[in-house]
Structure 1
Amino acid sequence: MAINGIQFQQGLSLPRFMETYGTDAQCAAALIQARWPSGFRCPACGAAHASEFTRGTLRYWQCRGCRHQTSLTSGTLMAHSRLPLTQWFLAIYLITQSKTRIAALALRRQVGLSWRAAWFIKHKLMEAMRQREAGRPLHGDVRIDDAYLGGERTGGKAGRGSENKVPFVAAVEMREGRPQRVRFDPVNSFSFASLRPWADKALAADAVVTSDGLLGFEVVSRMGFEHQVVIAGKGRAGCEVSAFKWLNVILGNLKTALTGTHHAFAFAKYAHRYLAEVQYRFNRRFDLASMVPRFITAIMQTAPCSRRQIQYVAEIGT
């Protein structure tokens, strides 16, 4: 069997990570580079000159133009955090470099946090992934399918009517017969009304869509996309249709990773973030070593997110 170059890439080893990001000073230097790669820019007026000072243990920059003061993490996802930067960076490393996933309970043990802090950091980082991926539509040859997360609850409805099932659209961008990028977007339903805004966001103008004949997917034809329908049978035979082979493999891996890592989570409340984490990592799988610095840049460009915002029941839909 030929060796899969993506799976066998070296990535970023733990010793190399500790060598690069093992101290708070190293982490701070990485954040400065990620936030101001061309030198300081005032977040209020855009001026390029500032005076630096410390207050307690925090480092501040005061703009020489408008006198606005900012810390390294203010206005970013890490704002108001009291955790050492080394713990943040270790959490980033574990979430981005794991081949499958890491649960908040395991993150708690490995980073040395309370369970609540570990859960909060994990969801903050997944939210940064979600925001980073939200505005990146798929191009060219795109295969789409309807899918569900979750199962029936004891005493509840069975099948697709289960209250614990979350519908989402799975889509893969193909190139030369291989999957390149994916999107997993929760939707209210597979009606025209729900799928039209999904298509607006998920499909680029040059997308050529292949679906399995689900009625709701006809909306892409009505929106002017080139649309091919390939009828897939039920059961195992339907999973082996060549047009959807890679999409079915990706969906199988997604559900295996989720169920293998998390015994349970509130699908309706948090599915958008768990799906976004898988999507983010899959779309950057070609270069695992660069995922940490790239994600640090994403975090510096993500607005603060309070615990209330993290725990608020998201409106499913696109």
Structure 2
Amino acid sequence: MTQEKNGISALELSRQLGISYNAAWRMKHKLMKAMKERDDEKPLGGFIQLDDAYWGGAQHGPRGRGAKGKCPFVAAVSMNEKGHPMFMRFSVVKGFKTGELTRWAKAHLKPKSLVISDGLACFRGIEQAGTFHLPLVTGGGAQSVKLPYFQWVNTMMSNVKNSIRGTYHSISKKYLPRYLAEFCFRFNWRFNLKKTFEQLIYSCIRAAPIPEYLLKLAEIRW
């Protein structure tokens, strides 16, 4: 879970460890929960690319914004002074409303960060968290994702979605925050793969015990 960029399914984990699927599922979800809690302790700062994203199976009708049955999440990638991606945070939200984005930003962005987003009105909510916000009207459509201002956040979204589909095929929306956190954790600690494993162990030691029924409820979004 810390070394393979595409992750490992609970089914494959059960095969490799020689344990039942249910035991492997519990183990994996406790590890993903610990990953999320560890990364959530470190808000993103500096220059940040921000975008709205959606998860859900193929359905007829509109795509992206306005599509029914999709699970909305915020995608954010912080950059260094050379424009290279450093850290990312993907968080499931109730919806793209101003108040929801304000609450999310207060939890996940450092004050005085410079955040660039498209012109979606709700993104102005992050300004209430003390960030500097630069909204760009992109016009939407397929060409908007090719703009250099959003290169890395769109690249990361595409990579994560493809990896989840390839490894897990189908996941419940209520567990999506954990799966997103798993990919973010590996990305955020990628510069030292040995330390990635050590950080996961450390995170598990610090994590509070959780009974199976709460693990399955998965009520926390961000």
Scaled by the length of structure 1, the TM-score of the pair is 0.66
Q: Which has the higher helix share?
A: 2
Distance 2:18 2:161 in 1: 28
Distance 1:103 1:203 in 2: 30
Distance 1:214 1:191 in 2: 10
- In structure 2, the partner of 1:177 is 83
Distance 2:158 2:135 in 1: 22
5+ residue gaps, structure 1, are: 1-94
Distance 1:114 1:230 in 2: 50
Scaled by the length of structure 2, the TM-score of the pair is 0.93
- Deviation, 1:99, is 2.2
Tell me, yes or no, if the aligned pair for 1:169 and 1:185 is still in contact at 8 Å. Answer: yes
- Deviation, 1:97, is 1.1
User: What is the RMSD of the two structures over their aligned residues, measured on CA atoms?
Assistant: 1.6
Distance 2:198 2:129 in 1: 38
- Deviation, 1:136, is 1.4
Distance 2:130 2:184 in 1: 26
Query: Greater Rg, structure 1 or structure 2?
Result: 1
3-state DSSP of counterpart to 1:177: coil
The correspondence for 1:199, drawn from 105, 121, 124, is 105
- In structure 2, the partner of 1:292 is 197
5+ residue gaps, structure 2, are: none
Alignment of 1:72-151 (within 5 A): 95-151=1-57
3-state DSSP of counterpart to 2:157: helix
Larger RCO of the pair (alpha carbons < 8 Å, separation 6+): 2
- Deviation, 1:315, is 4.6
How many equivalent residue pairs?
A: 219
Q: Deviations over 1:25-48 (max 9, x none)?
A: xxxxxxxxxxxxxxxxxxxxxxxx
Q: Any runs of at least 4 consecutive aligned residues in structure 1 with deviations exceeding 4 A, and if so which?
A: none
The correspondence for 1:252, drawn from 148, 151, 158, is 158
Residue identity over aligned pairs, in percent, reads 38
Q: Deviations over 1:146-180 (max 9, x none)?
A: 001112568xx7644422x1101000111121000
3-state DSSP of counterpart to 1:265: coil
Distance 1:152 1:260 in 2: 15
Tell me, yes or no, if the aligned pair for 2:5 and 2:183 is still in contact at 8 Å. Answer: no
